[in-house]
Amino acid sequence: MVAFTCPNRDGSKGYGGCTYCNVDSFTPTSRTMETMKAQIEYGMKKARKSYKAEKFIIYFQPNTNTYAPAHYLKTLYDEALSVNTADIVGLSVGTRPDCLDVEKIALLESYTDRFDVDLEMGMESIYNETLSQINRGCSHDEFIAIMELLKNTKLDICVHTIFGLPGESKEMMLAYAHEINRFSKITFVKFHHLHIVEGSIMGAKYKKNPFPLFSLQAYADFLCELLPLVRPDIIIQRLFGISDLDMLIAPNWGLRKSEIQTFIDNEIERKGIVQGVAYKG
């Protein structure tokens, strides 16, 4: 089993991790398995059955998957990509801006002749005050610096954000779009609303002192304001993310994931929202 951690967990930058995070809320089932091969084969079997998938992307998701020496990372990525050479076509690596360097970027780029490789970068917020409050251990200036290092990369860059973090107004969140737009290397984005999960620091605090979170309608309305601002060539991979219900404290919108997606899609269509129409390049 792969056992990464994060610099704001292991003491190098802090303890406890990001306050909203419980890595067990990501993909609990397969990660309890002993070996990476078993995890991958389980995931492929499930995706074949559920989605009739034929080709697969290896996704290193929980924790910080570049937070180790490059030679160790190579061993892990090589092992994962060799599980099924016929059907694995891509590698996606979740990480944070402060855990990358030239050597690790070169390692990831070395796979691009055989695989689609994307780097999923947690930006989360564009405000240092917010990042500090959520114990991110990484500033937005570090995000800007790593994007500079990646400006000629062959990797696809996916940026991950969270909307609804305490202290951010709607106008502050809409400004994320302008910040993302200015980095031409950003190919993909994953947008998430803040959800509070069991086992997180924020979860414990929320139970004592609840604070406002997005309702589904308010979040859909927000997305309808955000999407026109987002550069039209950026592919939006996600509009929301939600943990399994047994891990979720709030907001519980009382719908399944597919129903939430349909609700948001319907609102976008009803209002005639088009990505990028308000983008001024």
Whole-number Å distance between alpha carbons of 41 and 20: 30
Q: Does 21 bind ligand SF4 (CB under 6 A)?
A: yes
Coil vs helix vs strand at 54: coil
Q: Does 6 bind ligand SF4 (CB under 6 A)?
A: yes
Amino acid at 202: M
Of positions 23, 40, 173, 226, contacts ligand SF4 by CB under 6 A:
23
Q: Does 203 bind ligand SF4 (CB under 6 A)?
A: no
Q: Name the residue with tokens 């737009």.
A: 181
Of positions 65, 92, 93, 96, contacts ligand SF4 by CB under 6 A:
96
Task: For 194-209, give one letter per residue: b (16+ CB within 10 A) or e.
Answer: bbbbeebbbbeebeee
C-beta of 42: minimal distance to ligand SF4 in Å?
Answer: 21
Judged by beta carbon, residue 125 or residue 181, the one nearer ligand SF4 is 125
C-beta of 248: minimal distance to ligand SF4 in Å?
Answer: 16
What angle (nearest 5°) sits at the alpha carbon of residue 43, between those of residues 40 and 45?
110
The residue range among 17-25, 109-117, 166-174, 231-239 that interacts with ligand SF4, by the rule CB under 6 A, is: 17-25
Going along the chain, which residue ranges are E strands?
A: 56-60, 88-95, 116-124, 156-163, 186-193, 196-197, 235-238, 248-250
| Length in residues, the chain | 281
Q: Does 251 bind ligand SF4 (CB under 6 A)?
A: no
Q: Does 17 bind ligand SF4 (CB under 6 A)?
A: yes
Judged by beta carbon, residue 64 or residue 181, the one nearer ligand SF4 is 64
Task: For 70-103, give one letter per residue: b (16+ CB within 10 A) or e.
Answer: beebbebbeebbebeeeebebbbbbbbbbbbeee
- Residue 196's region, left for phi above 0, alpha for psi from -120 to 50, else beta, is beta
Judged by beta carbon, residue 188 or residue 227, the one nearer ligand SF4 is 188
Of positions 43, 97, 122, 251, contacts ligand SF4 by CB under 6 A:
122
Binding string, residues 43-72; x marks residues near ligand SF4 by CB under 6 A:
-------------------xxx--------
Judged by beta carbon, residue 4 or residue 231, the one nearer ligand SF4 is 4
Token duo for residue 75:
């061993």
Residues that bind ligand SF4 (CB under 6 A): 6, 8-9, 17-18, 21, 23, 62-64, 96, 122
